[in-house]
Amino acid sequence: MARIIIDKNSSRKEVILTKAASLFREKGYKAASMRDLAESVGVEAASLYNHIKSKTELLHEICFGVANRFMHKMEEVEGEKISPIEKIEALIRFHIDEMILHYEEVYVMDREWKHLSDPYLSNFQNQRRMYRKRFAAIIEQGISLKNIKPIDASTAVLILLHAIGGIESWHRSTQKISAEALTANMISILIGGIAASAKG
């Protein structure tokens, strides 16, 4: 019985988090009110506070939930015995999968993180800086091995991450091209560029 109550509570909070991510994406964190959120959950605004501490808590749970998954994947990929290019491809694929499976959360992390407040804000910025640094290090390895052009690695990281994060149609189930085709296109363009190669 206690178990049932706990399960009920935790699933209630998960519903609130999901609806919050959706609202924050649609209207932006500041423009989305707790009354909006309450309505979409189906309770009065005051009732939300039986499950959460504050609006800000929702934002940082969304942001760190996503950020932690990316960090975990980075650790995993770094440990694999594959080439730098293969590591980059694995990371790109993971980013795309995250966009497909958790579009709202990833979008909110990407565009609304600046509304975090300060223990969390600096923490988030540090974590993001570390992630990009480690991503850039993989590119540098590829450059050393001459599998990657001698480009500025941190510029390349920003291009890759924003190119993926900017695709807006991930969440639509009915899209002009399938997720697989989109993924193949992304990888092809980001790794190989848009120019036709001499080899055909």
Dig out the tokens for 48 from the structure: 């939300």
Give the 3-state secondary structure of residue 34: helix
Among 146, 172, 174, 180, binds a second copy (CB under 8 A): 146
In angstroms, the CA 156 to CA 196 distance is 20
Q: Quick one: what does residue 27 bind among DNA, a second copy, none, with the CB cut-off 5 to 8 Å set by partner type?
A: a second copy
Residue 41 C-beta: closest distance to a second copy, Å: 22
Which CB atom, from 67 or from 92, has the smaller least distance to a second copy? 92
Of 63 and 92, nearer to DNA (C-beta) is 63
d(CA 156, CA 147): 14
Query: What is the C-alpha to C-alpha distance for residues 78 and 135, in angstroms, rounded to an integer?
Result: 9
Chain-centroid distance, C-alpha 112: 12
* 130 near a second copy, judged by CB under 8 A: no
Q: What angle do CA 183, 147, 178 make, to 5 degrees?
A: 5
Q: Which of 8, 11, 14, 27 binds a second copy (CB under 8 A)?
A: 27
| Closest to DNA by CB, 45 or 121 | 45
Would you state the structure tokens that stand for residue 198, as one six-digit string?
């001499």
Binding-site ranges for DNA (CB under 7 A) = 12, 32-36, 43-47, 49-51, 54-56
Smallest separation (angstroms) from a second copy to the CB of 6: 36
What is the DSSP code (8-state) at residue 29? T
Residue 101 interacts with, from DNA, a second copy, none (CB under 5-8 Å by kind): none
**CB under 5 to 8 A by kind: which of a second copy, DNA, none does 156 bind?**
a second copy
The residue (of 24 and 131) whose beta carbon lies closer to DNA is 24
CA distance 171 to 102: 8
Q: Is residue 159 a contact point for a second copy (CB under 8 A)? A: yes
- Nearest CA to 167 out of 148, 150, 187 is that of 187
